[in-house]
Chains A and B, each alone.
Chain A
Amino acid sequence: MFQTLTEKLEAVFKKLRGQGKITEENVAESLREVRRVLLDADVNLHVAREFIDKVQKRAVGREVLASITPGQQIIKIIHDELVSLLGVSKTDIVEAHEPPTVVLVVGLQGSGKTTFSAKLARFLKGRGRNPLLVAADVYRPAAVDQLVTLGKQLDLPVYSEAGEDAVGIAARSVDFARRHVRDTVIIDTAGRMHVDDAMMNEIAEIKAKTRPHEILFVADAMTGQDAVNTARAFHDRLDFDGVVLTKMDGDSRGGAALSIRAVVHKPIKFIGVGEKLDALEAFHPDRIASRILGMGDIVGLVEKAQEKIDQEKAQRLGEKLRSAQFTLTDFLDQLREVRNMGPLDQVLGMIPGMNRIPAGAQVNEGALTRTEAIIQSMTIEERKRPSIINGSRRKRIAAGSGTTVQEVNRLLKQFEDMQKMMKKLSKGGLKRAMSRL
């Protein structure tokens, strides 16, 4: 159902191979496909257009013509270009020569400013700083309560006042921090529409009064074409220093990252990946580039795997895979390794193509437990040579594992398919199959 961009481009170029020559026109056809992928990922139209022009200039001629697999070559060019456009990973928050350092958090309604402010406070606290949270959102009902609750959770002070004087609250909070020896002030402001002049004047005034050392613009990763308008408007008014992309734990492709970068040229400093206060991560351009192209977060997956998987075991497994001697025991081992890596939906989300699988269709942990039980109810011999598992053995395994014969059958069938695939791969196809990822 879901085709990766690489596959689609390969299909385009397959047609070309029959025709013999790759022309500029042909490259254009593949780039139309790229454009569609970018638009589906919510990259702004203008940004996508400029980006493709750039890629086209680099692609036509030399690289593409010389390449044996032009589709992959183009992907590489696109990916590299995306990464360079997205900037570098940078999570430092400046420290003022004369404390307190003032950080101003701004953005549209519902982008996630309050949650981010708390996450940032936690992050800085972990680095030995003493943050003060400031509740300057005086408009949304109970916004102050929300920040106070989060502050309590973090065991950090929260500065708030009754009344609607956001500018005054922000200004006084800096004095408060000075008196109470807090070295960093994080001001959480009200969400505002970029077209609301009164509110934009207010935030400009807060900036003027508090002279922040760092202004962070918080944007929802699910934003569509409008991302450029809001980012530009906030930037024109405040000249912010960095961007925070929130709700990246969803399945949006995050094209807004590219759009915002392209119009304001400020680093994307953090991404929010969950509701818990520790769900804050550094921004990795290469991973977002893969995500925008619908290629999955391979780098993240590999990192996570390296962190959790027993290297020696992995190597042995690799050998078995190559020699097609993969048994049910290995399957069980592998299953356990995967479970060690964390919640399955998170792991699966990083695999190319899997990020599009609807939530309902996701493998559930329960099914894994049952699979484990079935394999554990087999004898060593059966695990080595599943072909000996006849009807009565199936009945015994089902009874032993508390499952049904149908489930045992399904597992055996799956395993058989897997073995077939492995055999195919081991016949010299492994490298090709892997590179297709």
Chain B
Amino acid sequence: MIGTLFNRMTASLTKTRDSLIGGIRRMVSARGTISADALEDIEYALLAADVGTGTTKRLLENITKRIAADRYESIDEFMELFKDEVARVLRSTASSVDEKGKVGIANAPRPYIILVVGVNGSGKTTTIGKLAYRYKSEGLSVLLGAADTFRAGANEQLERWARRAGAEMVRQERGADPGSVAFDAVQSARSRGVDVVLIDTAGRLHTSVNLMEELRKIRRVISKVMPDAPHEVLLVLDAATGQNGLQQARQFSEAAGVTGVVLTKLDGTAKGGIVLAVGHELGIPVRYVGVGEDPEDLQPFVPQTFVDALFAQT
């Protein structure tokens, strides 16, 4: 199980590794010493992966310091040091992944309420569908709350996923108050004894004051039914997102108290380097990565695995 998971992660992240690290490795081994040029090339690789100028600068400063203090003998050793620097950023964000690579909720309260937020088109509904599928396959009962009452066809889209995953669904007509849908979802999950509730919200740009206020309200309404809920607030980030991703994470955290990130669309050529910046600046961990359209293409994000896959020998 762990083996297959690791293999899948490795395979899906090969592209990321190839472009991010492959370049570094080639150039480092060719030169043998870490010159200013080499550092510049590492900087280039990080920036090309959307890590951003701030976090890149920090990583380079740290590695320069460490080289000065620790010294390295071989290229491999240098790569280990650098790898460790990157891992440190990801590790500093505590993750709730257990030893089986599952984002465990075994000891969590029931129903376990997950609120899913993000900008338009980041992949919220698809992520919810995949999550529902995942929890169902773990033998848990799942209820979907269709609180995206704005976008045309949102209810129908979620309904298809609910049917596919075998989950229940609570919905109202289009244009209804999303807070009221969230309320209904949590309420009926309680009375029906459901294990996991996934609440979909309409995509919204983090710059829209009113829509962010609406999100606050949804959160408040949920905690009225269940004071400690939502137990998880997932921000869905498109891997192709540039530096704006940091601002998204900041604003959504401020409004909805984001507890984790889902990095979607990692199966393209985008690197998703922005999660390094998000982890570094805001300390928000990545929970899952989306690597395809199939239900099983949502995988738990394991920092160590991510970094190992990132730096694995080809």
Interface size class of A (residues with CB under 8 A): 35 or more
Q: A-side interface residues toward B, CB under 8 Å? A: 36, 39-42, 45, 108-112, 139-150, 153, 193-195, 220, 222-227, 229-230, 247, 249-253, 255-256, 275, 345, 349, 358-360, 362, 364
**Interface pair B268/A194, CB less than 8 Å apart:** yes
**Interface pair A39/B157, CB less than 8 Å apart:** no
Partner of B47, one of A41, A45, A194: A45
A256 to B, closest residue via Cβ = B242
8 contacts between A and B (CB under 8 A): A40-B53, A139-B293, A142-B160, A143-B157, A145-B157, A153-B152, A224-B240, A275-B150
**Interface pair A39/B251, CB less than 8 Å apart:** no
**Interface pair B268/A247, CB less than 8 Å apart:** no
B7 on interface, CB distance cutoff 8 Å? no
B121 on interface, CB distance cutoff 8 Å? yes
**Interface pair B241/A358, CB less than 8 Å apart:** no
**Interface pair B209/A251, CB less than 8 Å apart:** no
Question: For A362, what are the chain B residues with a Cβ–Cβ distance below 8 Å?
Answer: 209
6 further A-B contacts with Cβ under 8 Å, apart from A39-B47, A149-B153, A252-B243, are A150-B152, A193-B265, A247-B205, A255-B242, A275-B151, A359-B251
User: Please, what's the 1-or-0 string for B247-265, where 1 marks a CB less than 8 Å from any CB in chain A?
Assistant: 1101100110000000001
- Max count, chain A CB within 10 A of own CB: residue among B50, B156, B240, B274: B240
Partner of B243, one of A42, A108, A142, A247: A42
**Interface pair A108/B268, CB less than 8 Å apart:** yes
B156 to A, closest residue via Cβ = A142
A45 with B153, Cβ < 8 A, contacts A224-B270, A359-B251 known:
no
**Interface pair A226/B244, CB less than 8 Å apart:** no
Whole-angstrom CA separation of A112 from B203 in the bound complex: 11
Whole-angstrom CA separation of A405 from B230 in the bound complex: 39
**Interface pair A36/B53, CB less than 8 Å apart:** yes
Using a Cβ cutoff of 8 Å, how many contacts connect chains A and B? 165
Question: For A229, what are the chain B residues with a Cβ–Cβ distance below 8 Å?
Answer: 268-270
User: Please, what's the 1-or-0 string for B155-181, where 1 marks a CB less than 8 Å from any CB in chain A?
Assistant: 111011100000000000010000000
**Interface pair A142/B157, CB less than 8 Å apart:** yes
Question: For B145, what are the chain A residues with a Cβ–Cβ distance below 8 Å?
Answer: none
Question: For B160, what are the chain A residues with a Cβ–Cβ distance below 8 Å?
Answer: 141-142
**Interface pair B269/A226, CB less than 8 Å apart:** yes
4 closest A-B pairs by CB: A224-B242, A110-B121, A146-B153, A42-B242
User: Please, what's the 1-or-0 string for B116-139, where 1 marks a CB less than 8 Å from any CB in chain A?
Assistant: 000111110000010000000000
B17 on interface, CB distance cutoff 8 Å? no
Q: Report the minimum CB–CB distance from A5 to chain B (whole Å).
A: 14
A249 with B207, Cβ < 8 A, contacts A226-B50, A226-B269, A255-B242 known:
yes
A39 with B161, Cβ < 8 A, contacts A110-B121, A110-B122 known:
no
Question: For B50, what are the chain A residues with a Cβ–Cβ distance below 8 Å?
Answer: 42, 224-226
Question: For A359, what are the chain B residues with a Cβ–Cβ distance below 8 Å?
Answer: 206-209, 212, 251, 254
A250 with B265, Cβ < 8 A, contacts A41-B243, A142-B153 known:
no
- Max count, chain B CB within 10 A of own CB: residue among A193, A230, A252, A358: A252
Q: Report the minimum CB–CB distance from A339 to chain B (whole Å).
A: 15
**Interface pair B269/A195, CB less than 8 Å apart:** yes
Question: For B122, what are the chain A residues with a Cβ–Cβ distance below 8 Å?
Answer: 110
Q: Report the minimum CB–CB distance from B56 to chain A (whole Å).
A: 9
Whole-angstrom CA separation of A256 from B270 in the bound complex: 13
Q: Report the minimum CB–CB distance from B58 to chain A (whole Å).
A: 14
Question: For B207, what are the chain A residues with a Cβ–Cβ distance below 8 Å?
Answer: 249-251, 345, 349, 359
Q: Report the minimum CB–CB distance from A227 to chain B (whole Å).
A: 8
B254 to A, closest residue via Cβ = A360
**Interface pair A109/B153, CB less than 8 Å apart:** no
B242 to A, closest residue via Cβ = A224
B44 on interface, CB distance cutoff 8 Å? yes
Whole-angstrom CA separation of A256 from B208 in the bound complex: 21
**Interface pair A143/B206, CB less than 8 Å apart:** no
User: Please, what's the 1-or-0 string for B28-55, where 1 marks a CB less than 8 Å from any CB in chain A?
Assistant: 0000000000000000100111101100
Whole-angstrom CA separation of A108 from B52 in the bound complex: 23
Whole-angstrom CA separation of A226 from B245 in the bound complex: 14
**Interface pair A251/B268, CB less than 8 Å apart:** no
Partner of B121, one of A36, A109, A364: A109
**Interface pair A145/B152, CB less than 8 Å apart:** yes
**Interface pair A112/B120, CB less than 8 Å apart:** yes
A143 to B, closest residue via Cβ = B153
User: Please, what's the 1-or-0 string for B72-105, where 1 marks a CB less than 8 Å from any CB in chain A?
Assistant: 0000000000000000000000000000000000
B18 on interface, CB distance cutoff 8 Å? no
